């Protein structure tokens, strides 16, 4: 498990390109029959990826829960949201099986002791993208197929940001302790996300970009609004966004991204918008 400690906005202004990438960029989430995890001390969020091929893989493979979390199992004091961005596969949570097609989502509640991943076909594996947040109460493990997501069309082609925000793990869809997750899909011809830029002081966020071809990238913008930096991101890479940082991006083509939030509240309007004319 890769552990990232908190970075502050004052030091961030002096970071080199490589230091920015080392602190915030998450790469190489998917390897056959492995679980790759990054533990961020920003709100203690954990970002994980699993691509089962020839094996059924436990979420705790390669993980020392007592050393990293002080718990006997991973979700003893945590909740988890996951999406399948690959081919069809199955998640087994404490004996109950959930079959996920591409784009489907599963929320797994605190105190779930065993989580196992498998793919329908080793040659066409599932890819499970996951984010976990600390939880203080038990909610209900819930499967949310993509057609049941709360859909919010936004933007326009004239501003290159016509998109649909699919809210899955969201107060309007189901009850969770603090975790919120969804998937935003940009239409062809649109490349900008999350404009106008904003921060939300009481929540951090993780973005994972996907649906990009090999020769396309996303320029992810971060930092304070009056002193921004960017990270060039490739397909199926994620980025940690602290509460003091904007989180917006522009791609060389359209793309999708999964957003995950955790922190003090789930009030989506609790944000500080920044005018485009004030960005630097």
The secondary element (H helix, E strand) that includes residue 220 is strand 218-224
Question: pTM score, two decimals?
Answer: 0.96
Per-residue model confidence as pLDDT tens digits over 31-80? 999 999 999 999 999 999 999 999 999 999 999 999 999 999 999 999 99
Neighbours of 193 (CB within 10 A): 26
| Residue 96 backbone dihedrals phi, psi, to 5 degrees | -95, 130
pLDDT tens digits, 165-222 = 999 999 989 999 999 999 999 999 999 998 888 888 888 999 999 999 999 999 999 9
Opening angle at CA 264, ends 258 and 270, nearest 5: 70
Q: Which residues pair with 152 in a beta bridge?
A: 165
Nearest by Cα to 77 from 44, 37, 118: 44
Q: How far apart are alpha carbons 63 and 58 in whole angstroms? A: 10
């Amino acid at each position: 498990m890769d552990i990232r400690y908190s970075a502050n906005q004052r030091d961030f202004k002096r970071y080199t390109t490589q230091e920015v990438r080392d602190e915030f960029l998450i790469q190489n989430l998917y390897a056959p029959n492995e679980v790759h995890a990054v533990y961020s001390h920003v709100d203690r969020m954990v970002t994980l990826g699993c691509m089962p091929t020839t094996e059924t893989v436990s979420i705790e493979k390669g993980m020392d829960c007592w050393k990293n979390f002080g718990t006997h199992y991973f979700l003893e004091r945590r909740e988890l949201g996951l999406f399948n961005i690959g081919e069809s596969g199955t998640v087994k949570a404490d004996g109950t099986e959930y079959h996920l097609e591409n784009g489907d989502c599963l929320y797994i509640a605190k105190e779930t002791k065993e989580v196992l991943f498998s793919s329908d076909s080793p040659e066409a594996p599932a890819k499970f993208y996951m984010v976990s947040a600390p939880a203080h109460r038990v909610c209900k493990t819930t499967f949310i197929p993509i057609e049941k997501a709360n859909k919010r069309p936004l933007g326009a082609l004239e501003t290159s940001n016509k998109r649909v925000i699919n809210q899955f793990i969201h107060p309007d869809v189901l009850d969770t302790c603090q975790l919120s997750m969804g998937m935003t899909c940009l239409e062809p011809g649109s490349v900008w996300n999350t404009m106008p830029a904003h921060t939300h002081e009481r929540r951090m966020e993780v973005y994972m970009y996907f649906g990009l071809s090999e020769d396309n990238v996303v320029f992810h913008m971060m930092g304070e609004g009056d002193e921004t930096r960017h990270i060039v991101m490739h397909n199926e890479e994620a980025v940690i966004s602290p509460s003091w940082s904007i989180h917006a991006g522009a791609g060389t083509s359209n793309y999708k991204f999964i957003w995950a939030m955790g922190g003090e509240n789930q009030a989506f309007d609790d944000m500080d918008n920044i005018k485009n004319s004030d960005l630097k």
